[in-house]
């Protein structure tokens, strides 16, 4: 059973307000502001809603998943809200980080330990991450850009190639 069947992947079209938020989030100023405020708000909202919702998901209509990785250096569990891009039965992740130059810590964590957990809609799934092939990365980034057009500028603004991962549910 894939992640999509376990967590659901129905991504409705954004409403008018969500489209405005997409434009703000896709801008360099909006992205820089959101890079600072969205993760703590998402963590709080997820905690308060029992993992059913994040503030970014409510504001944008995008599938924001809570990704829990093991710290590459610390060994501590780290939870970060990320855009979960539907990819077949799996999810794709990209390291856009709102278009800021720094690579998100979760990238380093997944490279050091690809076992992770994702939570969405109040459901939790254990996953294994792997770096996407070039073909997979193109497909994932294409789907991500269709969901959120601002994603297309994140790599350019960050002045780096985006790391792309595929998350697959662990059977069991």
Domains of the chain are: 3-169 (2.30.110.10)
What are the angstrom distances between the C-alpha of 33 and each of 21, 26, 38, 94, 116? Answer: 12, 11, 8, 19, 27
Burial class (CB in 10 A: 0-12, 13-18, 19+), 91: buried
Q: In this predicted structure, what is the pLDDT of residue 81?
A: 93
Q: Closest Cα partner for 82 from 57, 61, 58?
A: 57
CB neighbours of residue 152 within 10 Å? 15
Q: In this predicted structure, what is the pLDDT of residue 27?
A: 83
Distance, CA of 59 to CA of 37 (rounded, Å): 13
Distance, CA of 69 to CA of 58 (rounded, Å): 24
pTM, to two decimals: 0.86
pLDDT in tens, the chain (172 residues): 554 555 555 677 878 888 888 788 888 888 788 878 888 888 888 888 888 888 888 888 889 999 999 999 999 999 999 999 999 999 999 998 888 888 999 999 999 999 999 998 889 999 999 999 999 999 999 999 998 888 888 888 888 889 999 999 997 5
SS3 state at 76? coil
Q: In this predicted structure, what is the pLDDT of residue 2?
A: 58
Strands (E), the chain: 64-70, 77-83, 85-87, 90-94, 115-120, 123-131, 164-169
Q: In this predicted structure, what is the pLDDT of residue 3?
A: 46
Q: In this predicted structure, what is the pLDDT of residue 142?
A: 93
């Amino acid at each position: 059973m894939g992640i999509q069947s376990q967590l659901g992947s129905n991504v409705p079209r954004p409403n008018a307000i969500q489209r405005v938020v997409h434009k703000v989030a896709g801008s360099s100023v909006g992205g820089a502001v959101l890079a600072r405020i969205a993760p703590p708000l998402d963590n709080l909202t997820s905690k308060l809603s029992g993992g059913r919702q994040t503030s970014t998901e409510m504001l944008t209509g995008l599938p924001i998943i809570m990704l829990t990785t093991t710290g590459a250096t610390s060994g501590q569990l780290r939870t970060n809200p990320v855009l979960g891009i539907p990819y077949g039965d799996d999810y794709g992740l990209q390291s856009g980080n709102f278009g800021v130059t720094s690579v998100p810590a979760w990238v380093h964590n997944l490279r050091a330990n690809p076992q992770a957990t994702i939570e969405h809609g109040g459901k939790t799934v254990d996953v294994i991450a792997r770096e996407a092939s070039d073909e997979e990365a193109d497909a994932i980034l294409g789907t991500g850009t269709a969901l959120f057009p601002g994603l297309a500028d994140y790599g350019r603004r960050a002045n780096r190639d985006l790391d792309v991962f595929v998350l697959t549910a662990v059977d069991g």
